[in-house]
Structure 1
Amino acid sequence: RNLAPDPARAAQLARQQAALDSARTKRERDADPERLGLRRSVLAEAAVAAVVLVVTTVLTATEPARTEEAVKAASGGQSATASTTARPQALTIPFDTGGPHGKGTARLDLAPGSSTAANTLQLRLADSSGKAMDVPEVKISFTQKAKKLGPLPAVPRQVGKGRWRASGVRLPVPGQWQLSLVVRTSDIDQVTEIKNVKIG
């Protein structure tokens, strides 16, 4: 008598036939030289794109050589961290605006910052008797004529009677600088004093 086909056996045979058909199709596809060449070409292009991406990332994170050379040229070949070895500067500058109570002495203290911080400037004014002296206005600036830098203003803020402070004073290169101090004691009485100071 005829036996009914076993469903489990039939499913197994169908899976085996599908696997054989898939393997045959893959062999035929891999044997096609055009497909093989295309696959290799795509892989090569992907590898080149990855290399270009890596090189671009490295280059964009690198400081351009010309920028470094420009900094060295401006600093006379010295490194930008020269300010870390700079010493504090103290200057005493007598002044006379020509008006009543216009004579006095300015004491400036310049404390150099680190390689990442700016300089700090302290200013004290005293009258002819040595007492703290208040004035309507003081101005300070720095110029380095040799390198055509400046005038670079330092903006002092009054912190007490006869006392001013300017933070964030940035002088880009060490060397001989010309300090300009303007003192105004009235609406019409004013004087500008010039002093050379070595920074760094």
Structure 2
Amino acid sequence: MFSRRWTARLAEGIRPSGPRKETPAARTADSPERAAQLARQRAAVAKAAGKRRRDADPARSALRRSVLAEAAVAVVLLAVTTVLTTTQPGRAEAEQERAGRTDGGSTAPATTGRTDVTITYDTGGTNGRGTARIALDPGRPGANTVDVALTDPAGKPADVPEATVSFTEKEKGIGPLRVPLERVSAGRLRASGFQLPMAGRWQLTLTVRTSEIDQVTEIENVEIND
């Protein structure tokens, strides 16, 4: 019996105690790299949690939407201001269009201001070719000044024996209304106070006579606006 107790005691003394468990604190203490990694993970978790709290805050969300809306409005206003400051006024565009017209063809009237028409003619006789520039000012219903300038192919004044101008409104059956032109100088005729009764699409008739037998009539349409 004594031997068995002694043998059992010796066996207990040499029995292995099993593997020792390593705590996180011990692993952290043993590995500085592991400690730094854990610190980064904790910081990322804390940052994500803070963002979720901010997004869940109704006041913050409303403020964010308000700031974005104001920024969008500011961009739109800036774009509109830029367009307006770089766009020419309507009258400037009309003046440029009138200045850019070329000789040798009829012109469309401007919607505001003076109406200009250019007509080329050829009576068929000697010195029968030329150009008539007719200006109607202000080019609206009521009293107008009609100015006619006749030039030869070289651009010099053409002093013809006779030139007449009249207006007819075909749709309403008005006219022809003859313009009482008077000679101002060589190749220049003018009438003041000529009355156009209404707006509409008027037919301008120009007759030029360069000799006793050489004569031609040209017709152009003119828009008269209120």
TM range (shorter): 0.5 to 0.7
Distance 1:190 1:152, change over 3 A: same
| Number of residues of Structure 1 aligned to a counterpart in Structure 2 | 115
2:217 alignment partner, SS class: strand
Which of these residues, 137, 141, 159, is aligned with residue 111 of structure 1? Answer: 137
Q: Distance in 1 between matches of 2:147 and 2:168?
A: 18
CA distance in 2 between partners of 1:114 and 1:146 (Å) = 18
Structure 2 unmatched runs, 5+: 1-110
Cα gap change, 1:114 to 1:199, in 2 (>3 Å): closer
- 1:194 is matched by which residue type in structure 2? I
After TM superposition, the runs of 4+ consecutive aligned structure 1 residues lying more than 2 A away are: 112-115
Q: Which residue of 1 aligns with 2:152?
A: 127
Q: How many Å separate the matches in 1 of 2:214 and 2:159?
A: 14
Aligned residue in 2 for 1:156: 181
- List per-residue Cα deviations over 1:115-157 (Å, max 9, x = no partner): 7x61110000000111011001011100001111000110110
1:192 partner letter: T
2-structure distance, mates of 1:107, 1:113: 14
CA distance in 2, matches of 1:179, 1:114: 14
5+ unaligned residues in a row in structure 1: which ranges? 1-84
**CA 1:114–1:103 in structure 2 vs 1: closer, same or farther (change >3 Å)?**
closer
CA-based RMSD: 1.7
- Shift of the alpha carbon at 1:105? 0.2
Q: Percent identity?
A: 54
Q: Does 1 or 2 have the higher relative contact order (CA < 8 Å, sep 6+)?
A: 1
Q: How does 1:136-151 map to 2 (within 5 A)?
A: 136-151=161-176
What one-letter code is carried by the residue in structure 2 that aligns with 1:153?
Answer: R
Q: Displacement, 1:112?
A: 2.2
Mapped partners of 1:114, 1:166: distance in 2: 15
> 2:175 corresponds to which letter in structure 1?
G
